Structure 1
Amino acid sequence: MIELSPQTTARQALQRYQLPRTFAEAHDYLYRKLHSIQLLSLYKHYFPEEYNRSEKRSLPTAEEAYSPMETEFVELVDERLFPLYTEFMLYGSGADERSTVIPVRSLGEDWYNTEYENLSPGWQLALFLIGEVTFHEITEHQPDITIGENSPLREIVWANVQWDAFKERWKHVAEALHPAVAHIPLVISLAYHDTGNAFLDSTDEAPIEDCSWNREDMDLLIKEYQEAAAMITHINELLEWVGSDPGHLQTVLTLLKEDKKTWTTAKKD
């Protein structure tokens, strides 16, 4: 029996039961059904309680890209598992524009295409620390930072850095100075999109585009996002400590300058 909702006309209800008449129509019909089943099965797997409680309609109409229940699932993923471009996926797509690709929202900062003044204070400080901007630029935008010299990393040749020695050095410094400074190497990796983490190394200009709606890719993204969140916490702790006292920043710059030779190798021409 076909049940009509107050918003559904008899014609609209009957159209749901219209059989495909061509190969193309059959292909599109099966594709939409298969994709819906895939999303709903993922919903049941990752959020079983919410799935069982849901009273939303499970399948989309011919005028919808995604059903209310599919929308509910996507919003839960964005809220609890990892960030998505939900607006683009759910509300920027036409009925025939479903995609099997997960619209992952990158966390990497495209700072080289952003005006310095438009960056967050944390990113402004990070770019000064790694030598991408001068002390004039950082003090202009953050007057509380009264440093009078550039970061020693401004003149560094990154190809000459012995990264294992560099990381080990800052682990030792952290034991005597502050735990957060152990993450100096991580700030550099973050800025140059070289952390090894999918969320932090990608940007809006170079997004993650190779993950589909399946358990394997979902589990991978969940793991990557958890690791990214931990890295961001470490970096925020470092930037908060460095920015909390001019003496902290000066100490870090002095140490970078004094022991630079211990973790770099000058290459002969």
Structure 2
Amino acid sequence: MTPIITYAEALDFLSLFSIPLSFEEGIDYLQRLSQQVILLSLYREYFPAEWTQSTASIEPDFEDWQCSHSPKEMEFLRLVEERLFPIGLEWEWGEALEERMSYITVYPHDLDWYQRGIDEFDEFHQFLIYLLGQDFPVSLWQERLGITLNFVLPVEQLDFDRLEILCQHAPKPLGYLYDALSIVDHSTHCIWIDSCWECMDYFAWSRESLDGLTEQWKLALQLWDKESQLRRWIAADKTRYLPLINLWNQAKML
């Protein structure tokens, strides 16, 4: 196996660090050095062309190396952000990290409808929340959405498995109703969509994590695309809310 760095580079790199003075400092030192080796190994494996062309230093930018990533590590983190899945690199920390990103955090990407006011959502998502919440009188549908209807199946009488089957056989994008509702309800079984601030997930930097989270991100993009298609279809003609409600009503629990 070809070493990540040459012997001479390793000596230069190690010369930057003071010898740990206690057992705790020694353990911390080795853990952080191990984290850097893992990140650089993943860099070379997942982005070999960029790794070969890179001239970035493996030395930390700051005097306190324990609280920063090296330029080469930052290259890898930006590539993950740009090509695999979001890691919150630019959103939370900007161009430089003040602390090492020791693990991958799956951040929420959608608002929790039960923790926000209804007016914080667009009309389409208000419609989905009305279906799931069922705390709204029929008159409000006319007031908010401009549609008149006689009956909406209460959510407690809904068979979600049956709704899923009905949606699978419905024409598109009408049949994307189940996916759109699952997104709002955080029940898609896609970690990027179902994650919430109270239940965030953390993953070690590993091949398994990168592969799994990349596939999950692709799934999230597919689901959001379906939701977007349905939203645009409704926006073109608001009377199309009615077939959605009819599809919902057909999924009554037997």
Which aligned pairs between 1:80-119 and structure 2 lie closer than 5 A?
80-87=83-90, 88=92, 94=98, 97-119=99-121
Q: Cα distance 1:86–1:69, how it changes in 2: closer, same or farther (>3 A)?
A: same
Contact 1:89/1:103 (<8 A) preserved: no
* In structure 2, C-alpha distance between the alignment counterparts of 1:118 and 1:236, rounded to whole Å: 18
Counterpart residue type for residue 85 of structure 2: F
**TM-score, length-normalised on structure 2?**
0.80
For this pair of structures, how many residues does the alignment match?
Answer: 239
1:254-269 matches, cutoff 5 A: 254-257=246-249, 259-260=250-251, 263-265=252-254
Say if 2:131 and 2:155, in contact at 8 Å, map to a contact too: no
| Residue aligning to 2:167 | 170
SS in 1 for 2:106: coil
Relative distance call for 1:240 and 1:136 in structure 2 (3 A) is: farther
Instruction: Quote the residue 2:155 is aligned against.
Output: 156
What pairs up with 1:159-238 in 2 under 5 angstroms? 160-174=157-171, 179-209=172-202, 211-238=203-230
Note the residue ranges of structure 1 that are not aligned, 5 or more in a row: 3-12
Distance 1:255 1:18 in 2: 67
Please give the per-residue CA displacement for 1:12-54, whole angstroms capped at 9, x wherever unaligned: x997153223222222221221111111111111111112222
Measure, in 2, the Cα distance between the counterparts of 1:67 and 1:24.
23
- CA separation of 1:204 and 1:58: change in aligned 2, threshold 3 A: same
Contact 1:180–1:237 (CA under 8 A) maintained in structure 2: yes
Aligned equivalent of 2:36: 36
The one-letter code sitting in structure 1 at the alignment partner of 2:77 is: V
User: Shift of the alpha carbon at 1:224?
Assistant: 0.7
SS of alignment partner, residue 103 of structure 1: strand
Aligned-residue Cα RMSD (Å) equals: 3.1
Paired residues for 1:231-250 under 5 Å: 231-250=223-242
1:252 counterpart (232, 244, 251): 244
When the two structures are superposed, what TM-score results if normalisation uses the length of structure 1? 0.76
Kindly provide the amino acid, as one letter, of the partner of residue 168 in structure 2. K
Alignment partner of 1:53 is 2:70:
no
Structure 1 residues 33, 137: closer, same or farther in 2, change over 3 A?
Answer: farther
SS of the aligned residue for 1:56 comes to coil
Identity %: 27
Assess if the C-alpha contact under 8 Å between 1:86 and 1:103 holds in 2.
Answer: no
Give 1:217's aligned amino acid: S
Picking from 125, 130, 134, the partner of 1:128 is 130
CA distance in 1, matches of 2:96, 2:52: 28
- CA shift for structure 1 position 151: 7.1
Q: Contact between 2:183 and 2:193, CA under 8 Å: does it hold in 1?
A: yes
Alignment-mate amino acid for residue 54 of structure 2: S
Counterpart of 2:105 in 1: which secondary structure?
coil
The equivalences for 1:72-83 within 5 A come to 72-83=75-86
Deviations 1:43-84 (A, max 9, x none): 111111112222221132542421111112112211211111
Specify whether residues 264 and 231 from structure 1 end up closer, same or farther in structure 2 by C-alpha distance, changes over 3 A only. Answer: same
Find the counterpart in structure 2 of residue 22 from structure 1. 22
Structure 1 distance, partners of 2:59, 2:135, is 53
